[in-house]
Amino acid sequence: MDYFLTEEQIMIRDLCRQIAEERIKPVRAELDEKEQFPTEILKALAQADLFGLIIPEQYGGLGGGCLENCIAVEELSRACVGVSTSFAASFLGAYPIILFGSDAQKAKYLARIASGETLAAFALTESAAGSDAGGIATEAKLVGGEYVLKGSKQWITNGGKAGIYTVIAITDRAKGARGASAFIVEEGDPGFSYGKKEVKMGIRASITSELIFNDCRIPADRLIAREGMGFVVAMRTLDKSRPGVGAQAVGLAQGALDEAAAFARTRKQFDKPIITFQAVAHMLADMATKTEAARALVYSVARFVDSDAKDISKASAMAKLMATDAAMEVTTNAVQVLGGHGYMRDYPVEKMMRDAKILQIYEGTNQIQRNVIGQELNKEYGRKG
């Protein structure tokens, strides 16, 4: 199915597929085993102008939207979600600037992100503030012409590798979530350092680190939008990015299906390829159907987001929820189809199964997505009543 993609979108898909096949697949097992950041692959993506995918043209980008992002991320994830996470996290860090940044902030930072000169990262999560984003403890105080940040952020993708960080911190604790603000922090800012680098179950090619702000001083003009807008900035950013997580899940599920189907055609038991056994064929059929259904929903939601619709929270949450649950099931079943082989690191499906789990957790757990969807349904049916 071509999903009515434009010529430009097909070019993006084919380019990312080529990079995935030629640059990612041959090294994905090594990157995972060594927990090695994919520096050379990211350079190749930068040379292909793919870091400019969602950056407006006036700042050196390609001016694409959510759908173009999803197409690219899907193809990269088909080969390795660790690599695609390192790539997509830069867009997550860029979204607050794209959506809410001043003209000066956009001019200063977006061109650097679009060129791949520097990676970006988004810093919201803390040890006591995961699903409860209102529990942020990191503070920012205006002192003279500078903001002084104090606290830490946990589990930040691209932490220690990015040069630009969008950070959510509390500027007025008395106002609760409405007292949060968003800031741009650069590597090298005084008082800014990196803490623990995490050792993870999956996406091991992606760097996940702690950020530490020890009286970190930044110019006042690094405030995004205005004080008190931090929670809005964060939620709008996640609404925009969550279909991309769904796209990661679609690509991962497709990659697992590819491996499982190919194995089932060549693996023989009782003198027959196992794909001829109904139990295996039905499992593959369900895997293929759920992958295709997830792709259809993600693409539909991406188009909805690109229509500049105002209320995208429910649709965005649905795309993330449905696709990532499907990827977890498909990758688990891929291991089952391969049997004992699937459990061994000689085959990629065990890695795919490990990688799939994080998609149900980061950028809002799937339990939180159900909360978002339920809350929106309550509003909708309340209006109808």
pLDDT at 367 over 90: yes
Residue 2 lies in a domain: no
Question: Which of the residues are catalytic?
Answer: 363
pLDDT of residue 228: 96
Q: Same domain for 294 and 254?
A: yes
* Count of residues in the chain: 385
Q: Is the pLDDT of residue 8 over 80?
A: yes
Is it the case that residue 360 has pLDDT exceeding 70?
yes
Q: Which of 198, 228, 258 is the last residue of a domain?
A: 228
Convert the pLDDT of each residue in 237-268 to its tens digit: 999 999 999 999 999 999 999 999 999 999 99
Instruction: Give the count of domains, the chain.
Output: 3
pLDDT value for 63: 97
Averaged pLDDT score across all residues of the chain? 96
pLDDT, one tens digit per residue, over 181-193 is 999 999 999 999 9
| Banded pLDDT at 385 (limits 50, 70, 90) | low
Q: Kindly tell me if the per-residue pLDDT of 128 is higher than 90.
A: no
Are 110 and 29 found together in one domain?
yes
The per-residue pLDDT for range 265-316, each reduced to its tens digit, is 999 999 999 999 999 999 999 999 999 999 999 999 999 999 999 899 999 9
Domain boundary among 228, 244, 278: 228
pTM of the predicted model, to two decimals?
A: 0.96
Confidence label for 332 from pLDDT (cuts 50, 70 and 90): very high
Domain boundary among 199, 228, 257: 228
Q: Are 241 and 363 contained in the same domain?
A: yes
